[in-house]
Amino acid sequence: MLAEERRLQLSEWARVEGRVDANVAASNLDVAVETVRRDLDVLQRRGVLRRVHGGAISLERFAHEYTIPERYGQNPNQKRLVADVAASFIPDEGCIFVDGGTTTECLAVYLRNKPGLLVVTNNLTLAGKIADSTTQTYLLGGKIRPATLSAVGAKTCEDLRELTASVSFIGANGFSLEAGATAFDTDEALVKKTMMANSRERILLVDSGKFGSTYPAKFSAFSGFDRIVTNVDVDASFTDALAGSGVQIALAQQ
């Protein structure tokens, strides 16, 4: 295979899958990993993709905000598995914050009928799934973002500052070694920061398919979390980098 043919294939993988793992691509193309890395460097200079540790990701993942139907269709099983593990950290009583997003929404089944628990959330869909149970539900006020059906803005943060939670369950649009945890919207990022600031324990829920993605609004370095729950197939560079950092990593099995 000629160099340009390889690069076309790498570009297509990045477009379809969102990212390219250099080792996997080298095996599939039957070339050395260094050859793939050089090809990825060339494609980055051409503005086709962006190099990250272990490979590259599509530039679309830096700029595109997915619609709600698209989010529900992305890695639903991985999100559910993450929520299954994160559920073990839900207390039976007290106050918790639950962030917006389709991954945190998967916690809904574990939040019903807990009369000693107060769930404070900006997630309209999550609130609708638990509010008719015995669990106390507090829906934060504020402006609703149509792209996520979450309340954001000054009013949302003002409400949060009056409350203190034992645990906050936070979602993210992307996470990477270079940028930490990021969101598409700065107002949503501010809500996440406020939830974290007013919580005794902070837990990030993020499926492994988001690893390597970076969005405009960074809201926390990984050191800002007490615990990160992701899938067992997350890039090893992530778990290696956090080893010994003091941040607990819980990996959801397939």
Whether residue 198 sits in one domain with residue 146: yes
Whether residue 99 sits in one domain with residue 32: no
Domain of residue 15 covers: 3-62
pLDDT tens digits for 193-225? 999 999 999 999 999 988 888 887 899 999 999
Q: Which CATH number belongs to the domain containing residue 173 in this structure?
A: 3.40.50.1360
Whether residue 138 sits in one domain with residue 111: yes
pLDDT computed for residue 86 by the predictor: 98
Angle between helix 3-17 and helix 33-45 axes, rounded to 10 deg: 80
DSSP codes of every residue in 137-164: EEE--SEEETTTTEEESHHHHHHHHT--
Number of domains in the chain: 2
Which residues of the chain are under the pLDDT cut of 70? 60-64
Angle between helix 22-29 and helix 3-17 axes, rounded to 10 deg: 130
Q: Which CATH number belongs to the domain containing residue 41 in this structure?
A: 1.10.10.10
pLDDT computed for residue 36 by the predictor: 95
Angstrom distance (rounded) from CA 20 to CA 212: 10
Angstrom distance (rounded) from CA 62 to CA 179: 12
Whether residue 134 sits in one domain with residue 17: no
Q: Bin 222: left if φ > 0, else alpha if -120 < ψ < 50, else beta.
A: alpha
pLDDT computed for residue 34 by the predictor: 95
Asked if 170 and 196 count as a contact pair (C-beta separation under 8 A), the reply is yes
Average pLDDT for the chain:
92
pLDDT computed for residue 106 by the predictor: 98
Whether residue 159 sits in one domain with residue 213: yes
Can you give the pTM of this predicted structure? 0.78
Whether residue 76 sits in one domain with residue 53: no
